[in-house]
Structure 1
Amino acid sequence: MFLEKIKSAESGVLLYGITPPKVGTLPERVAEIAQKTMERLATLDIDALVVYDVQDESARTKEERPFPFINALDPFAFASTYLDSLPVPKIIYRPAGKFSASELSEWLEGLHTHNFYPVFVGVPAPDFPVKTSLQEAYTIWSKYQDTSVIGAVTIPERHNVLNDEDVRMLDKMNCGVSYFISQCIFNLEYARQVIEDLALSCNRQNIKPPTIIFTITACGSAKTLQFMEWLGIHVPDELKEDLKTSDDILEKSVRICLDIASALTTFCMERAIPFGFNIESVAIRKAEIEASIDIANGIGQMLKAKGVRKSSIDSQVTTAINE
């Protein structure tokens, strides 16, 4: 139902995000990780699974990376080979600039064959040699626009500095993008400002707004908090202090995440912006992954209680009746 929800700008979209296992992991271990992932996700009522393309962003900042970078398996190969039996659509990230036009064309054809959906992201560093621009990548994708949707990334922290995120989003909408997945949200005010400015820009230009999908993640340790900040996620000082001084940082962060999701739901509903949530675990610790599952369930229940989400089963029944 993901495709229909995005094309109809239906709010309450619920995604879950994962990263593939590391390069060099033995095939039997990859299969085991995939099986455990599918077992966890089987308990969730999600519309699609996001599979990230992990990039080395060390050149983006002079700060030392809290965790060493290790290349991950190709997200499309992992999803199509090991997660094919998971009955939800897959959204695959790809840095378009790292590939030639012919390579992107072949990749998009593979995605379309599997009913997967692309999200193009930028290159890992400003000086990275670009083979294909984002605009060129969107043009290559446009042949699938009638039967697919394409997403992009939005970064509230960037808007706080440059104050042009709404312009960037409108430019990408002109290229065919219909939904945006945010960087992890811990600064509620930054996210609200993006929503506010986007709503104003769309109203001025008489444009229907895109769907904004806010990424939410738990923080289970001081090390995870440090890593999130290294990634460019802004955590307000007061909230950071609350986490650091909490008796149970993971439990505290789960409550914060649910509060942020509830506040964003109200804010988007008031401004008629279609929205949803993407839940992930930045860390690979079992406790933090399990907490992300709890957050996904909690947000799903909140959305249903506020009347902005039907379960996937309810949506399928409604579609069948309408057909």
Structure 2
Amino acid sequence: MASAPTATAAELLARTRGGVLLHGLTPPRQTSSPDQADGIAAAALKRLRSVQVDGLILYDVDAEADRAATPRPFPFMPMMDPADFLDRHLACWDGPVIVYRAVGKYTGEQLEHWLSGADRDRVLTVLVGAASRHQRVRTSLPEAHRRHAALPLPPRMGGVVIAERHAAAGAEHLRMLRKQDAGCEFFVSQVCYDLDHTRDLLSDYTHTCRERGLDPRPVVLTLAPCGSMKTLEFMTWLGIDVPRWLRAEIDRGDPLAASYEQCLLNARALIAYCRRLGLPFGINVESLTNRKLEIDASVDLARDIRDLLG
């Protein structure tokens, strides 16, 4: 039986004033047996035992076939529902968990049923809309927000933030404010490699909040090491901007060493910048693939970032 949580969902958000550390996990394949899923969960928690992360993020993987015109570099594999993975296989994790919901996969009733039954003391959620306006969905993000708002005690809700959209159109901070109006209490970024794109977004969001008399919500910034050109292709397909000079380093040298060093430099710079802005924040570390090399590197990176956070 799991012990009582070491921190509640509300406490996790409160601690973002000084910076929190999270680790992102993708659930096992849908075809995994219960024993295999138990083993995957146990291995993940064993790796994280020495890191002292403040919380987990569980992703909800969708095919996103309309995301880009180019083919997906890695074939899409249906994954276990993150909420089921948490309930059935991660019971021994006693900290807060952010469960993603790709709302387009679910009917409004299915989404509302899960929101109504989630453990609000332990579980937070990030509601994610379609990757493309052409994607066919069962529930739109605005409808998901309305259903969340209509419930008496749903889990605390967050939203996705993408610095690349801000670099392209300059309006991502306004999108964040609209999500904030819809009930988002925090944000989680796409993987950050372009430091200037990320700082521009954080600056515009924080200063616009203060101009409007609003308190900025916590922003969790995601970092992930890249161990191969194939992973770099996948990052590009996902819409992650990697500076040209770093792409050359990854292509011509040791990909993992080059990307790891940059992730650590970015973490140091972003921690200092968020603290200077007075913006509550977190750092989330994940692996974009299931390659052991990149998974191990993500745990090492989380450990180094824990030291930076103090």
TM-score of the superposition, structure 2-length normalised?
0.92
Shift of 1:135: 3.0
Q: 2:198 — aligned with what?
A: 191
1:249 aligns with 2:255: yes
Greater Cα offset, 75-84 or 41-50? 41-50
What CA distance in whole angstroms lies between the structure 1 residues aligned with 2:297 and 2:242? 19
Q: Is the 8 A contact 2:51 2:299 kept in 1?
A: yes
1:73 aligns with 2:54: no
Shift of 1:199: 1.7
Identity %: 36
Q: Which amino acid aligns with 2:37?
A: V
How many residues are paired up? Answer: 303
Q: Which runs of 5+ in 1 are unaligned?
A: 305-323
Shift of 1:127: 2.1
Query: C-alpha deviations, 1:137-191, integer Å up to 9, x for none?
Result: 2233236687842111000011111211010001111111111100000111110
2:299 is matched with which residue: 287, 290, 293?
293
2:246 is matched with which residue: 239, 263, 272?
239
1:302 aligns with 2:305: no
Shift of 1:280: 0.1
Q: Is the 8 A contact 1:6 1:149 kept in 2?
A: no
Q: Which amino acid aligns with 1:297?
A: R
What CA distance in whole angstroms lies between the structure 2 residues aligned with 1:283 and 1:98? 22
Q: Kindly tell me: are residues 10 and 151 of structure 1, through their superposed partners in 2, closer, same or farther at Cα, counting changes over 3 Å?
A: same
What CA distance in whole angstroms lies between the structure 1 residues aligned with 2:71 and 2:42? 34
Q: Is the 8 A contact 2:192 2:198 kept in 1?
A: yes
Q: 2:269 — aligned with what?
A: 263
Shift of 1:244: 1.8
Q: Which amino acid aligns with 1:260?
A: N
1:284 is matched with which residue: 284, 290, 308?
290
Q: Which amino acid aligns with 1:66?
A: P
Q: Is the 8 A contact 2:120 2:156 kept in 1?
A: no
Q: Kindly tell me: are residues 8 and 22 of structure 1, through their superposed partners in 2, closer, same or farther at Cα, counting changes over 3 Å?
A: closer
Q: 1:40 — aligned with what?
A: 47
Structure 1 runs (4+) deviating above 6 angstroms are 144-147
What CA distance in whole angstroms lies between the structure 1 residues aligned with 2:106 and 2:154? 24
Q: Is the 8 A contact 2:191 2:221 kept in 1?
A: yes
Q: 1:274 — aligned with what?
A: 280
1:219 aligns with 2:226: yes
Shift of 1:110: 2.7
Q: How large is the Cα RMSD of the aligned pairs?
A: 1.8
Q: Which amino acid aligns with 2:29?
A: K
Counterpart secondary structure, 2:188? strand
Shift of 1:109: 2.2
Q: Which amino acid aligns with 1:242?
A: E
